[in-house]
Homo-oligomer: A and B are copies of this chain.
Amino acid sequence: MRASDRAYESLVEEIQGGALAPGAVIGEAAQAARLGVSRTPMREAIGRLVADGLVRQQSPRVLVVAGFDGGDIRALFETRRALEETAARLAAARGDAVAFGELAAEFRAAHPESGSRAADDYYALIARFDAALDVAVDNVYLTQALRPIRAHLARARRIARDNAGRLRDSVAEHALIAEAIAAGDPELAAHATHVHLHHALTSILSSIEHATPTEGPQ
């Protein structure tokens, strides 16, 4: 594996996991030294983070981890709705009914509310669902547009992490989406996605208000 890929993945995980908090300064030399690569691959990794929107230019010379507040999450979900409702519609029209039937069954069988281990398994299942969606939609432009959205979503998930009731509802919502796709019902798939995203956003926003404001070190 290339050094630039390792550096990129490390930084993405640290940003998503909160180890690198919003506002943290990302300097080429500093990060390169910390992760044990030279400046060239680190430069490439940082370039990808900027393209993803996880890192942004604060001033001509200084890059910082992008902030991520309630307004950002609302904007993220607006874009998610646009892309994922379309993806659901297209998958229902084109997708492999068997594959989505099996995914629906897995969602029905999932019990992510029974511990953090189960929650992680559940997120892995969602990742497989997303991958199946990409295959079914068969549209590189849509898939590419979704990539950074999902990277930001991981940050939002962490904020609202481990709300047992929400996770229990979420599996049922995903199961319905998968079933609608398996049944070849585009409108139901799209509207079930809308419902799911509405509930997910509402839950995340209420988590934020009840938790401490997510402020990184300046």
Give residues in A with beta carbon < 8 Å to B.
Answer: 40, 43-44, 47-48, 51, 53, 72, 75-76, 78-79, 81-83, 85-86, 90, 138-142, 144-145, 148-149, 152
A83 to B142, CA, bound (A): 10
This chain's copy number in the assembly: 2
A79-B139 in contact given A144-B53, A145-B145 (Cβ < 8 Å): yes
Chain B residue with minimal CB distance to A85?
Answer: B82
Asked if A75 contacts B140 (CB within 8 A), the reply is yes
- A interface, by DSSP: helix, strand, loop or mixed? helix
A86-B90 in contact given A44-B47, A75-B141, A141-B152 (Cβ < 8 Å): no
A79 to chain B, nearest CB (A): 4
A51-B51 in contact given A79-B86, A90-B78, A141-B75 (Cβ < 8 Å): yes
